[in-house]
Structure 1
Amino acid sequence: MRAKPLLVTGFGPFPGVPRNPSAVVARLLGIHARRHGLAGGDVRVLILPTSYGAIPTHLFPALAEGPSAVLMLGVARRAKRVRVEFRARNRVSRLFPDASGAIAQRLTLLAGGPAERRAGGAAKALASLRRHGIAAIPSHDAGRYLCNAAYFHALAEDIPVLFIHIPPLAEVGRPGPYQRDKPPAEALAAALVAVARGLLV
């Protein structure tokens, strides 16, 4: 029987971030994961437009294809370290428009839905990143923007799902977030292979 695919997601550009590092790392992770034979080599990389409309038009169809696990990446512009998100909340901000200029129409993502959804593999992923030389910290607040929204919806699936926020890749010059013997995106992508493997177990 053929293995179900691993789904890796990142986000496209948005105002102030013309080249989203989450997309860069997601594509590199896809390459690394295929080389390592994860999910039988069936690794699908989805770069989501940075708009609320992308959740039903892009994310939902990808989830409907039945991946074995989902590893989601986003950028946290003010972060200094990689953040492993332990939960997503059923909340959205009406203060920040998406890249298309749209603003959330309500304060909850899913009326009548749970207040939050938690990721079962977050602690294991955090330990794995640290073992691979990545300065990673736990986070219990994925924000109230698209990263949190996409994560909340993906966590409804009965499969392992994890979201990781990465700092801008320019942070590589400072002590910490990335292995110094590799370019920052490559170092993080290589470390995320082990995280993806953990989700597939």
Structure 2
Amino acid sequence: MSGKHLLVTGFGPFPGVPINPSAVVARRLAALARRHGLAGGDVRLLILPTAYGAIPTHLVPALAEAPGAVLMLGVARRATRVRVEVRARNRASRLFPDVSGHVARRLTLSADGPAERRAPPAAPALATLRRNGIPAIASNDAGRYLCNAAYFRGLAEAAPVLFIHIPPLPRAGRPGPYRRGRSPVEALAAALVAVARGLLARPSIHRADRAIEENAMGAVPNPISGVL
């Protein structure tokens, strides 16, 4: 079955983040979305290794299955509110190694790609989160690490795609910025189900720049760390 399923993605651990909150929330979101019958219950979960090599080996095959919508999650360690990413930029940094010790191959993600790719679902998703009690803001900067790289690749697809950065989860017993009476994971996952429902209701769009260089998403050993 293809074309109508929901793809939910999160990231695994990376240096400084041994337990990635995006994976925790993505798992709960996928479970709730199935329970609510989104996409006829066909909700697929993908926890990406935090490595540049995971984009061609994990993300691209999942996108090739033609999901009806893609909701991507990542963690922003300094954020205090949920950030709805409005765009992904065709840029990378060679300063930050991934979990395998590699950095981006070059400073652009795609030699032939546009300077940026924008996400039309961002504005309605932001409104949905706020209606569901989630403190959220729009963000124009998805960073220069794996989150931006994965988002840039995802936005090349015709299906509605959205990336949301979540802040670190508060410690047990503390509600953080979320409504009291629900755990932060439950509150976020429930609100994201509503966001996913909106994504699935949107039509696919034509991407004139859909064909990009997959090899440009590769990685090279980090010359700073010396990891091979």
Instruction: Name the TM tier (shorter chain).
Output: over 0.9
SS of the residue corresponding to residue 46 of structure 1 reads: strand
Distance change (3 Å), C-alpha of 1:2 and 1:22: closer
Q: Which runs of 5+ in 1 are unaligned?
A: none
Which residue number in structure 2 is paired with residue 24 of structure 1? 24
2:176 and 2:182 mapped to 1: Cα distance? 14
Which residue number in structure 2 is paired with residue 48 of structure 1? 48
Cα deviation per residue 1:10-63 (whole Å; 9 max; x = unaligned)?
000111111100000000000100011000000001000000000000000000
1:16-165 matched pairs, under 5 angstroms: 16-165=16-165
- Residue identity opposite 1:127 in structure 2: A
2:15 and 2:6 mapped to 1: Cα distance? 29
- Residues 92 and 144 of structure 1 are in contact (CA less than 8 Å); yes or no, is this contact kept in structure 2? yes
1:189 and 1:4 mapped to 2: Cα distance? 21
Q: Which runs of 5+ in 2 are unaligned?
A: 202-228
Deviation at 1:174, TM superposition (A): 6.4
Deviation at 1:119, TM superposition (A): 0.3
Structure 1 stretches (4+) deviating beyond 2 angstroms? 171-176
- Residues 2 and 67 of structure 2 are in contact (CA less than 8 Å); yes or no, is this contact kept in structure 1? no
Distance change (3 Å), C-alpha of 1:127 and 1:191: same
- Residue identity opposite 1:30 in structure 2: A
- Residue identity opposite 2:147 in structure 1: C
- Residue identity opposite 1:101 in structure 2: G
Deviation at 1:112, TM superposition (A): 1.9
Query: Once the two structures are aligned, what percentage of the paired residues are identical?
Result: 76
1:56 and 1:3 mapped to 2: Cα distance? 20
- Residues 3 and 42 of structure 1 are in contact (CA less than 8 Å); yes or no, is this contact kept in structure 2? no
The total of aligned residue pairs comes to 200
Quick check: which one's helix share is greater? Answer: 1
Cα deviation per residue 1:142-201 (whole Å; 9 max; x = unaligned)?
00000000000000000100000000002783652x222101011100000000000011
Which residue number in structure 1 is paired with residue 198 of structure 2? 198
Deviation at 1:70, TM superposition (A): 0.2
- Residues 2 and 40 of structure 1 are in contact (CA less than 8 Å); yes or no, is this contact kept in structure 2? no
Q: TM-score scaled to structure 2, two decimals?
A: 0.85
- Residue identity opposite 1:183 in structure 2: S
SS of the residue corresponding to residue 104 of structure 2 reads: coil
Deviation at 1:3, TM superposition (A): 6.5
- Residue identity opposite 1:98 in structure 2: D
